[in-house]
Structure 1
Amino acid sequence: MLKKHLNTLITLFFLLIFSGTSYAQTTTKNSIPLRDFLSELEATFDVKFSFADTDVDMVFIEKPSSNSLDNILNELHEATGFSINKLNDRYYTLTKTTTISICGFVFDNFEENNIPGATVEIYESNLSGITDGNGSFSFENVPLNSLVHIKHLGYKPIFIEAKELVKTTECKTIAMALSYQELDEVVVTQFLTTGLKKLNNASIELYPSAFGILPGVSEPDILQTVQALPGIKSVDETVSDINIRGGTNDQNLILWDGIKMYQTGHFFGLISAFNPYVTEKVTIIKNGTSALYSDGISGTLSMRTTQDLPLNFSGGAGFNLISGDVFGVIPIQDNMAVQVSARRSYTDFLNTPTYTKFSEKAFQDTEVNSESEFYFYDFTAKFMYEINPYHKASVSLINMSNNLNYIETANDTLAPNRSNLNQDNFSIGGELQSEWTDDFSSQLSFYYTQYDLDALSISNNDAQQLEQNNLVKESNIKLTTYYKLGNHINWMNGYEFTETGIENTTNVNQPPFASNIKGVIRKHGLFSEIAYSSEDEKLTGFIGGRLNHIENLDTFQEYIFEPRINISYELLPNFKTEILGEYKSQVTNQIIDLEQNFLGIEKRRWILSDGDALPITKSKQGSIGFNYDTNKLYVGIDAFYKEVNGINVYTQGFQNQNQFNGEIGSYAIKGAEFLINTKNNHYSAWFSYTYNKNDYTFDVLAPATFPNNLDVRHAITLAGNYTIGDLKLGVGLNYKSGKPFTQPNENEPINETVFPTEINYEEPNSSRLPEYFRADASANYTLKIGDKTNAIFGVSVLNFTNRRNTLNTYYRLQNDSTIETIERLSLGITPNASIRISF
């Protein structure tokens, strides 16, 4: 209320000033009534003016100094906005203009480059559009007194009166300044490709709507894109099983509109489950995480849909060789709007080359045969409501599903074996953002998410039935306050409560077996953080921490303090250093079942820490980085150390002698990341190198220390993209050294002295897979159909050299006491194509 009253007084004050100014103009020494001046012109030049009395009454002007009638009339038009038309040599008409034609040319004030794709909105009308390839725009029938809003990602928005842009022989040039926000100052305006930006706090922001092109991707894929960054890879070549600085996928915190997601992929990890066309911003954090976030001991990916109310309807639709989708952003009222999207695959009734290649990879070494039927879908919705200028509310919903059904017929059975697998996620959340004063604001949020994985297998002439289920239910509420202590210091505080319940069920009718393991953990978190930015913005950063109280239905409870630090300092012009550190913890993990669980397709089950067999997983990490940035060149290097304690071999996917031991241990990573990126308005090329030394320590095993299953020592990416008008091209090479695995002992591969007989392995992870190499390419072309409608055609090829990389090797003992070698291979050459319409 305080701010509301203050704004009202300020508005009244300016109205009084404006009124006084207007009156003063009418009584200045040189001002005369327009009606009197027209009479004077009629007598001087023997002409007649026709006009409406109400239009010219009370209009005062400064008397033009010119002696030419044409020049005088032009000055009158400029001063009054009246449209003056000549009927013949003597008669003229004056009409009050209500609409005008405008045009402009937009460029950046730093390098004076054109700015194509800038959004131009005309307030007080439904007119809007974007600047063309030359940075120009034009509109007809624009209300005279309307306001023109010009904005573009990375630039400060501009507001300009329409009458200042009246179309003449030459359109007005408009310079846009680069946008620098306190604590989130943009370090590079283009990072690898358009739509990727690195911030002062070392996090990366991705903007799908402004996204350029990456090799191997015909249209944006959020989880594929983040793997272009140093230190973020996937050892099994999926988009959902992402390893950040050597951590496992379950150690990543994945948020969608503030909701924690337990399912992130379609087609068993080969396709991202999040629609990029309704995702406005993605924030990627590898270290130096804000105290605002809990969980995610390896990294955080926070996705956000649009936060601002749209002025006009927009949307799009398209399809590729796997699925089709549609989305729309729909204004309901001035203060209310909805955003919706839907996507579904057509793989259950149409086979394409892309689907064939994906199937070969996803279903290798499983029970699924070529007669399987698979499809997926996802749906999102968001409702936005501006209660008043100081309070905004929103509700977001996402639902996604994977479905697999197949029938397996054997010659010696009367009935076929029937199996199905369903993987579903439903989440809903809401936020209330409030601005109480100029210095104090708050955000109240909540969410509920449910993940459900069900498998059913019926075999032996319908006599045997196996049911398996993994169910996760989580509720969360969070209150965050922001207080501005001064021009350079901000203070954030908050409280968060999370309740997580997980259930794992297995039922077999013959022979009878039933297992039902469930648990609930409640977590309370208090957090506080001080952020600082110096006046010259050379020093920025924050320091803070969380105090978590974790309890498991009175079975165990623990208090954990998690300090966080993030500091950036500009040592020299364009040269900065970053010091980051954090302590984090989490209570949810995924165990990896290497048997034919869940039909051999989805082998990961979510489980909760119990304080005993699986303790709370904790991490600590520190890093120091240096980067040099100009508008054309970015060079960065980071060195880091990370230690994670409280891991269980069941969560690491061992496939050797330690597979079933259930031991508790830790891993430590020493690493460095290097990136060089050169770019301009037409191209971007980059080279990245990542070094990781990742070792396990299990005190009860022999040896106690050995390489981590994700110990990929060297990873190199060389890639680039080029824009030629409306055509974008991308090509890239990826190299990784082989990950470790364990071979059977060459001299005595089988241990027959124990029962049952087992494989006699060498030391854990003492061998290495062959090196990994993949080359990708992509292209897309934008065809402008109308002022607001574009068609985008895209093609891509993954692994165009068709190199079959070995992703994993393990061994199984057969009934005849022979050893079977299992190799999981990468995707072969995989084409894709897409067509989209945006409006």
Structure 2
Amino acid sequence: MANKILNKILVCLSIVCFIFSLKTQAQESTSNTELTVLLQQLETIHSVKFSYVDEYIRGIRVNVQATKNLEAVIEKIEAKTQLHFEKLSKRYYAISLNKTLDICATVLDNFKQNTVNGATVEVLSSGLGTVTDENGYFSLKSVPKDAVLRITFVGFKNLIIAASELTGQQPCKILLLAQYYQQLEEVVVYEFLTKGLIKQTDGSIEMNNEEFGILPGLIEPDVLQTVQALPGIKSIDETVSDINIRGGSNDQNLILWEGIKMYQSGHFFGLISAFNPYLTDNVTLIKNGTSSQYGDGVSGIIDMRTKDDIANRFLGGAGFNLIGGDAYAHIPLKENVAVQFSARRSITDLVNTPTYKNFFTRVFNENEVAQDGNFFFYDITGKLLYDINEEHKWRFSFININNLLDYSEREMNSEETTQSTLDQTNLSSGTNLKSDWSENFASEINAYYTRYNLEAQNIGMNAQQVLLQHNEVEESSVKLKTIYKPTTQLNWLNGYQFTETGISNRTNVSQPPFQSNVRNVVRSHAVFSEIDYETENQKLFLRGGLRFNLLQNPDTFEEFILEPRLSINYALTRELKVQALGEFKSQATNQILDLEQNFLGIEKRRWIVSDGTTLPITKSKQGSLGLNYDSENFFVGAEAFYKEVDGISTSTQGFQNQDQFNGEIGKYEVKGMEFLINQKTDIYSVWASYTYNINDYNFTDVVPSKFPNNLDIKHTLTFAGTYTLNAFKFSLGLNYHTGRPFTQPDSDEPVDTTFFPNRINYNEPNSSRLPEYLRADASAIYNFEIKENLKATAGVSVLNFTDRKNTINTYYQLNGQSEIETISTTSLGLTPNLSFRIRF
């Protein structure tokens, strides 16, 4: 009985499978029908007649079913073939071949199938053409059906394809470009440390934020924090507003955002970068061998650029961490018009997070005081992108940065209270027009206006003394440059730049009464020219340039300065290359650092312009020689350098000893070596860097005339690594450097009572050293997808996870009883941070 039941079940299953097989075959046959058969079905269903030439449709098969909606069926046939249906009457249709086609495709590389953005697509023997967008996509309408396309992109072989192979049906066809290999192609760039950091042929470092990986202690691609991972670049006070490039002070760096010079770079007294990284597309760091198109910045250049291509869809994102939140977006309004914006605001005035507490303690860590503060910051950026046509592109950008603080402290012993307020803003706008006049000639016009304003008030001695300080910078600039490329190996750059900088400083003290109001202006006319040459096999890269500067202060001086620039890169072998860099530079703006009276910490610095007497034009000359070895995933680089910066003043160097107020003029010399070794794969990257510096002042009117620079750090060592496990990224790093120099009071006679008010007797300048600095950082990021086109990132970081107490500065002052007090600044303690972000 059981066997009979089983047999019946098997028979039923067989019948079901047979019927399903017939149905599937029927579906397959209808889903891939010969066009002649489909036309016959349509004629029967709709009582129509189709007139055509047999050879036009012979062999054509389409995935279209005959339905009651005749027009919809015809539309599908036209989309999937090169045929055109013309309705002659209610019953008769004529079928002909299209003379033109609508085509589309997506261009990828054939190695990792990454999108190829900006590839040139030409329809040969016609005026049609376009470029691929950021997704590698392109489309063209009304292309002759017998046309041939040529797709070209630097570093890839040309692709020739018939237009008939790229019908505009969706999904569009994917085309793979083959990389163009030749001997020594590897010498062009090397991506090192983490994804998105690239060493360029001219010696500069390029950072791509969109592709940025992870670094120790960083869960977001903070530009000014990231550059400190590179050899020769550190901040000895742990800030982004005091970056020291090869022993130079921060005001000797040229920081550009969209070609606009920025006079403010940090939030929260420099502990956080003032530039939102999520629309920042590209950052270029230059330590030496600067292009002649750049002025200022005798120490280094950080050039930030936001996204400059119009996307074909809406892009954006938002996120928060334990300091603030932000949002950004790229919104295409038309095919050739788009807007970008970003906004960020702190939550420090709303929520007292552990990260904020540690930052607050780091800034205001004086002893025996009760502190209370209310602080917040924000920054806003915007950009309008307008492609007038394929040859002319216009951009307009603006940025607003703001810091606000109310702070009070009360000494526990004397009950004396001090109240301070700070309002620090930077408002800038700029415009840019790029024009390609021919394949060999292009031009660019850039103009900007920037205004920096600092308003600070200090009420001390229980409201008996009021100190007001005002510092304002207004700068306007226009730059024109042209680029001529007679061949693919030769590039000739020429240009002119005019800049006018006006800086005012106003001080008002109630007790003892004192008032000062000074405004100075400096104008700069610069003509520059340079030639880039690279051999066809990329074995030699050579760039030589000159910048002719005419600096004018209407009241005091006029000076002509010639600045040569040089960059040479020569490949000895496929893996080994030697690089020589050199430059002369100058600048006419500096910052006064009156730190002992700077009641609000490092950020209340005052910008001033050179007047030719009390502060001359600052000039530098620098040369370096390096040797780099890179083979697949292994990189070793060593570079020796010498830099001399003349025309500095003790008032701009942050002295906190007997030389603080004298204003002597001198120079400093830096001799050193940088070393980097990096092993990198797709999964991990491990590196170690070491920098050795000898950085000495030379002031003729100071005894002794030669002594260590305030930024003299003899030895700096970094050891770090990153590891990627699927969607997880981890990073761990250790930073070490020897202590900075400082000046101690004379142990035998510490106070000089022969002066009124009394003053401290010091030892020789910078004859003592702080203890060594050691900090370990860690970070982790997890990337995941919430749904299609909505991705998210969660991150956690810990700065100084060993909670080591590092002394980063020490100075001395006299109290009301003429007793010496020691003021020390301690580094950040164990500081956690969390972040969550979405992007779409």
**What is the TM-score when the length of structure 2 is the normalising length?**
0.83
For 1:140, the equivalent position in structure 2 comes to: none
* TM-fit CA distance, 1:514: 1.2
Matched, 1:799 2:779: no
Matched residue type, 2:352 = N
Q: Which moved more, 1:158-167 or 1:613-622?
A: 158-167
How far apart, CA to CA, are the structure 2 residues paired with 1:697 and 1:472?
Answer: 30
Matched residue type, 1:187 = V
For 1:323, the equivalent position in structure 2 comes to: 324
Which residue, out of 77, 80, 91, partners 1:96?
77
Residue 178 to residue 300, structure 1, CA distance change in 2 (3 Å): farther
Partner deviation per Cα, 1:574-622 (whole Å, 9 max, x = no partner): 2111111000000000010123335455341101111001100000000
For 1:382, the equivalent position in structure 2 comes to: 383
* TM-fit CA distance, 1:531: 1.0
Q: Which moved more, 1:512-521 or 1:458-467?
A: 458-467
How far apart, CA to CA, are the structure 2 residues paired with 1:746 and 1:250?
Answer: 34
Residue 293 to residue 826, structure 1, CA distance change in 2 (3 Å): same
* TM-fit CA distance, 1:370: 3.4
For 2:503, the equivalent position in structure 1 comes to: 502
How far apart, CA to CA, are the structure 1 residues paired with 2:348 and 2:677?
Answer: 40
For 1:313, the equivalent position in structure 2 comes to: 314
For 2:343, the equivalent position in structure 1 comes to: 342
Matched, 1:187 2:189: yes
* TM-fit CA distance, 1:624: 0.7
Matched, 1:681 2:685: no
Q: Write out aligned runs for 1:541-690 (5 A).
A: 541-597=542-598, 599-600=600-601, 602-690=603-691
Residue 166 to residue 448, structure 1, CA distance change in 2 (3 Å): closer
Structure 2 unaligned residues grouped into runs of 5+: 1-33, 68-72, 82-102, 122-128, 138-144
Matched residue type, 1:505 = R
Give the secondary structure class of the aligned counterpart of 1:613. coil
* TM-fit CA distance, 1:105: 12
Q: Which moved more, 1:367-376 or 1:386-395?
A: 367-376
Residue 259 to residue 322, structure 1, CA distance change in 2 (3 Å): same
* TM-fit CA distance, 1:767: 1.3
* TM-fit CA distance, 1:59: 7.7
Matched, 1:435 2:436: yes
Partner deviation per Cα, 1:16-41 (whole Å, 9 max, x = no partner): xxxxxxxxxxxxxxxxxxxxx97799
Matched residue type, 1:330 = I
Matched, 1:715 2:716: yes
For 2:393, the equivalent position in structure 1 comes to: 392
For 1:7, the equivalent position in structure 2 comes to: none
Q: Which moved more, 1:625-634 or 1:46-55?
A: 46-55
How far apart, CA to CA, are the structure 1 residues paired with 2:556 and 2:198?
Answer: 45
Matched residue type, 2:392 = H
Q: Which moved more, 1:153-162 or 1:730-739?
A: 153-162
For 1:141, the equivalent position in structure 2 comes to: none
* TM-fit CA distance, 1:58: 6.0
How far apart, CA to CA, are the structure 1 residues paired with 2:150 and 2:420?
Answer: 57
Matched residue type, 2:453 = D
Matched residue type, 1:96 = I
Counterpart contact for 1:367–1:600, Cα < 8 Å: no
Residue 462 to residue 245, structure 1, CA distance change in 2 (3 Å): closer
Give the secondary structure class of the aligned counterpart of 2:63. strand
Residue 752 to residue 301, structure 1, CA distance change in 2 (3 Å): same
* TM-fit CA distance, 1:369: 5.1
Matched residue type, 1:575 = L
Q: Write out aligned runs for 1:419-568 (5 A).
A: 419-458=420-459, 464-568=465-569
Counterpart contact for 1:107–1:176, Cα < 8 Å: no
How far apart, CA to CA, are the structure 1 residues paired with 2:50 and 2:317?
Answer: 45
Residue 264 to residue 59, structure 1, CA distance change in 2 (3 Å): farther
For 1:233, the equivalent position in structure 2 comes to: 234
Residue 200 to residue 547, structure 1, CA distance change in 2 (3 Å): same
Q: Which moved more, 1:668-677 or 1:750-759?
A: 750-759
For 1:706, the equivalent position in structure 2 comes to: 707
Residue 727 to residue 104, structure 1, CA distance change in 2 (3 Å): farther
For 1:835, the equivalent position in structure 2 comes to: 836
How far apart, CA to CA, are the structure 2 residues paired with 1:575 and 1:339?
Answer: 42
For 1:134, the equivalent position in structure 2 comes to: none
Residue 453 to residue 156, structure 1, CA distance change in 2 (3 Å): farther
**Equivalent residues, number:** 764
* TM-fit CA distance, 1:97: 5.8
Give the secondary structure class of the aligned counterpart of 1:284. strand
Residue 104 to residue 781, structure 1, CA distance change in 2 (3 Å): farther
Counterpart contact for 1:457–1:467, Cα < 8 Å: yes
How far apart, CA to CA, are the structure 2 residues paired with 1:715 and 1:148?
Answer: 55
Partner deviation per Cα, 1:609-647 (whole Å, 9 max, x = no partner): 110011000000001111111221111111100000000
Matched, 1:741 2:742: yes
How far apart, CA to CA, are the structure 1 residues paired with 2:697 and 2:503?
Answer: 27
* TM-fit CA distance, 1:48: 9.7
For 2:23, the equivalent position in structure 1 comes to: none
Partner deviation per Cα, 1:138-172 (whole Å, 9 max, x = no partner): xxxxxxx9x9999999989999989679999xx98
* TM-fit CA distance, 1:403: 0.2
Give the secondary structure class of the aligned counterpart of 2:801. coil
Partner deviation per Cα, 1:73-93 (whole Å, 9 max, x = no partner): xxx33xxxx335599xxxxx9
Counterpart contact for 1:529–1:545, Cα < 8 Å: yes
Matched, 1:199 2:200: yes
Counterpart contact for 1:198–1:204, Cα < 8 Å: yes
* TM-fit CA distance, 1:249: 0.3
Partner deviation per Cα, 1:413-450 (whole Å, 9 max, x = no partner): 99986531100000000001111122111101100000
Which residue, out of 83, 100, 109, partners 2:63?
83
Residue 416 to residue 617, structure 1, CA distance change in 2 (3 Å): closer
**What is the TM-score when the length of structure 1 is the normalising length?**
0.83
Residue 779 to residue 412, structure 1, CA distance change in 2 (3 Å): closer
Give the secondary structure class of the aligned counterpart of 2:442. strand
Partner deviation per Cα, 1:188-216 (whole Å, 9 max, x = no partner): 1x211011101000100001111100010
How far apart, CA to CA, are the structure 2 residues paired with 1:494 and 1:433?
Answer: 14
Matched residue type, 1:204 = I
Matched residue type, 1:259 = I
How far apart, CA to CA, are the structure 2 residues paired with 1:478 and 1:755?
Answer: 53
Give the secondary structure class of the aligned counterpart of 2:522. strand
How far apart, CA to CA, are the structure 2 residues paired with 1:179 and 1:501?
Answer: 52
Counterpart contact for 1:119–1:150, Cα < 8 Å: no
Matched residue type, 2:761 = N
Residue 753 to residue 187, structure 1, CA distance change in 2 (3 Å): same
For 1:20, the equivalent position in structure 2 comes to: none
Residue 175 to residue 486, structure 1, CA distance change in 2 (3 Å): closer
Partner deviation per Cα, 1:647-671 (whole Å, 9 max, x = no partner): 0001111112222221110000111
Counterpart contact for 1:183–1:540, Cα < 8 Å: no
Counterpart contact for 1:627–1:636, Cα < 8 Å: yes
Q: Which moved more, 1:710-719 or 1:462-471?
A: 462-471
How far apart, CA to CA, are the structure 2 residues paired with 1:197 and 1:483?
Answer: 26
How far apart, CA to CA, are the structure 2 residues paired with 1:477 and 1:420?
Answer: 35
CA RMSD of aligned residues (A): 4.1
Partner deviation per Cα, 1:161-190 (whole Å, 9 max, x = no partner): 89679999xx9894663899x9998411x2
Matched residue type, 2:653 = Q
Residue 409 to residue 108, structure 1, CA distance change in 2 (3 Å): same
Residue 38 to residue 292, structure 1, CA distance change in 2 (3 Å): closer
How far apart, CA to CA, are the structure 2 residues paired with 1:452 and 1:664?
Answer: 27
* TM-fit CA distance, 1:405: 1.1
For 2:257, the equivalent position in structure 1 comes to: 256
Give the secondary structure class of the aligned counterpart of 1:455. strand
Counterpart contact for 2:371–2:410, Cα < 8 Å: no
Counterpart contact for 2:695–2:711, Cα < 8 Å: yes
Matched residue type, 1:809 = T
Partner deviation per Cα, 1:765-784 (whole Å, 9 max, x = no partner): 11111111110000010111
* TM-fit CA distance, 1:371: 2.1
Q: Which moved more, 1:587-596 or 1:559-568?
A: 587-596
How far apart, CA to CA, are the structure 2 residues paired with 1:488 and 1:330?
Answer: 37
Residue 148 to residue 227, structure 1, CA distance change in 2 (3 Å): farther
How far apart, CA to CA, are the structure 1 residues paired with 2:617 and 2:333?
Answer: 46
For 1:284, the equivalent position in structure 2 comes to: 285
